[in-house]
Structure 1
Amino acid sequence: MDEPVLLTGAGGRVGGAILDGLADAYDWRLLFHSAPAEEPSHEYLVGDVVDAALMQEACDGVGAVVHLAGDPRPDAPWDSVLENNIHGTKVLYDAAVEAGVEKFVYASSNHAVGHFEPERTPDLYRAHDDFLLDGTELPRPGNFYGISKAAGETIGRFYHDEHGISVCNIRIGNLTEDHPPIDYERGQAMWLSHRDCAQLHQCALEADYEYEIVYGISDNDRKYYSLERAKEALGYEPADNSAHFDGTERVGTDG
């Protein structure tokens, strides 16, 4: 992609993983909620996605948006997710469409389908269980944060249908830097490594699609999210697997 890419929520954990892996792959324009501690090596802005004028400035001249910004807390209160996650996503879509942005990659979440879990645990997290969510199921949010992420997917559906912008919603699993959480079955089942996170977002920026919902995890032996749509629609080829860890020592491919 020759045009700049806007990355909102650049100071967060997912933003850090993307920039760690793709810092030189794109001409990034970064949006931080508050001023970064160190001067970024890319163009950046500071502010909130609910600021319509700032979002118009942020989207001006960019070819794609990777939208991570919002209140990330699973226990975030309704007023916060309504303003920051739902309304903020709508404000950013408005600015992107007005600026002629072609592609919008949205950070959805496992919490958008969190209520599929209680009735099936703990087998759901184990390799012998064949239950898989594939992105075609209706959302079953597990909290207000999950509701906001499901709403963001629906907002994207509207803006794709109404304005033709390409939209990829990535239901991100459990992103950790070094290894999946040991002795925590759920965390291993939905683990996403940093390099797979970066690769998946690069695939979403480069592939041709109209509207997609995919799951963002590594290729774990234990998983209840299907990766088939991410592989088929985006060309995602995850490198990591939570089963490659024994205790705190990695025994699989080098990271």
Structure 2
Amino acid sequence: MTKDAPHREATQFEIFPDRLHLRRSDPTRNLHRFYLMTVQRDLFGGATLVREWGRTGSRGKLRVEHLRDEGEAVDALADIAKIKRKRGYLYRAVDRDGRTLDFMLSAKRDKAAARRFFKRAISTNGTPDRVAIDKSGANLAGLQAVNVIRKFTVSGRLIRIMQSKYLNNMVEQDHRFIKRITRPTLGFKAFHSAAATLAGIETAHMIRKGQIAANGKTGFQQFASLAA
């Protein structure tokens, strides 16, 4: 399983009625990103919601959305601020050879979410002899709950649980590919769009690792045929 981002990455979040400023910095990865959103009045009595994002110190990208009045623009800013504050957790499982077994985006990181993911992964790939996870108490509780169910309803064969940062390194190394793509985005606008985007990234990663039969197709052709 994956774990939360290390504390070396700093995120600053400032919000006012007509202004939102998000900064993310990690010197060890040369990551310095910003997201700025402001409400501005136009010359015709309306208002605009101006969004700027990119690398700190650069001009970045600009998007302007025209709204009926300042009140509507402030409400839109507040709605986006709520979304930016939300955090999700990406559950991932890989085998000893580094192949992706399953993944699931969850709004919460708790026992219920972990149990749901483990049950789904086992249903799809079969029961493993052992599972290595990080030090998360929620992941441990979720897997223990699965073992309880197996003890009384299945064959009685339990899954050996191994909590070790060292043993979990394979998942962490594999997860870097996903983080390298998602971190610069500074978040997603909605949970469903985040789930769809991450599913596409995971699928592309599986193609890159050779998990999907090429049949003479390029990686792009494989992805396009799966998305059709």
TM-score band by shorter chain is under 0.3
TM-score norm. by structure 1 comes to 0.25
Q: Which has the larger radius of gyration?
A: 2
* Structure showing the higher strand proportion among its residues: 2
Greater RCO structure (CA 8 Å; 6+ sep): 1
